[in-house]
Chains A and B, each alone.
Chain A
Amino acid sequence: GAGVSQTPSNKVTEKGKYVELRCDPISGHTALYWYRQSLGQGPEFLIYFQGTGAADDSGLPNDRFFAVRPEGSVSTLKIQRTERGDSAVYLCASSYDRAGELFFGEGSRLTVL
């Protein structure tokens, strides 16, 4: 497909479990971003990748959250020991350059019971 693809679209898990969310950006986009959107709120920045490296991970809430992009394309957001407060929609976006238009995926809705 031509757009940003995120899987799974929905994930329900139990408190304490480990979760992985995947993002497949638009081909050729070197910049990749993760945002988190809670109900009724705007998206909040989590992490920015330029190529394979995390250029800014200042938005990750704590050390339970980690993201990788080993080959500079697909990225995985990993959440350890999930808590109910982690429930949100996790949005991935990609862009051609760091200040350009962001193309967002439809998000992965995470529910922690």
Chain B
Amino acid sequence: AQKVTQAQTEISVVEKEDVTLDCVYETRDTTYYLFWYKQPPSGELVFLIRRNSFDEQNEISGRYSWNFQKSTSSFNFTITASQVVDSAVYFCALSEWRSSYKLIFGSGTRLLVRP
């Protein structure tokens, strides 16, 4: 069965702190995709990243970085030097190769960045 777990329901940090959002997934497929989406108060989910299961290289995009570890089935997301505009709900998601169109989302982590 496929499952995505985001154990952190809510995180609160002060601006400029680094913060890591955890994501643990379960799948029996060897080929799958992992995603992170951001949902600001407007409600529209914004795509951040997609990784496939064969690419374990960590990725950095500006203040954002992602750590994919197959050994622990984790795909964690770090924001460096957080800003108030980073406040949102962040979702990790999984799709399997045979049904790559179907995203299975975690329950999300609400991040509050205080000035």
Q: Do A and B bind?
A: yes
Using known A-B contacts A41-B107, A42-B91, A42-B106, determine if residue A33 contacts B47 with beta carbons closer than 8 Å: no
The residue that B100 contacts in the complex, of A41, A45, A99, with Cβ under 8 A, is: A99
Number of interface residues of B (CB under 8 A): 23
Neighbouring B residues of A33 by C-beta, 8 Å: 101
- B64 to chain A: closest CB distance in Å? 16
Check if A101 sits within 8 Å of B50, measured CB to CB: yes
The stretch that binds A, out of B11-19, B37-45, B75-83, is B37-45
A58 to B: closest C-beta gap in Å: 8
Q: How many A-B residue pairs have CB under 8 A?
A: 57
CB within 8 Å for A42 and B100 given contacts A103-B47, A106-B43:
no
| Cβ-defined partner of A42 (8 Å) among B43, B47, B108 | B108
- From 75 to 109 in chain A, residues with beta carbon under 8 angstroms from any chain B beta carbon are 89, 91, 93, 95, 98-99, 101-107
CA distance A99 to B35 in the complex (A): 11
Q: Which of B36-87 contact A (CB under 8 A)?
A: 37, 42-47, 50
B50's closest neighbor in chain A, by CB?
A101
Contact B101 A107, beta carbon cutoff 8 Å: no
User: Which residues of chain A have a CB within 8 Å of any CB of chain B?
Assistant: 3, 31, 33, 35, 40-45, 48, 50, 55-56, 59, 89, 91, 93, 95, 98-99, 101-107
Given contacts A43-B91, A45-B103, A98-B101, 4 further A-B contacts (CB under 8 A): A55-B101, A56-B102, A102-B47, A104-B46
24 contacts between A and B (CB under 8 A): A3-B44, A31-B101, A35-B103, A41-B108, A42-B4, A42-B91, A42-B93, A42-B106, A42-B107, A42-B108, A43-B45, A43-B105, A44-B105, A45-B102, A45-B103, A56-B99, A99-B100, A99-B101, A102-B45, A102-B47, A102-B103, A103-B47, A107-B43, A107-B44
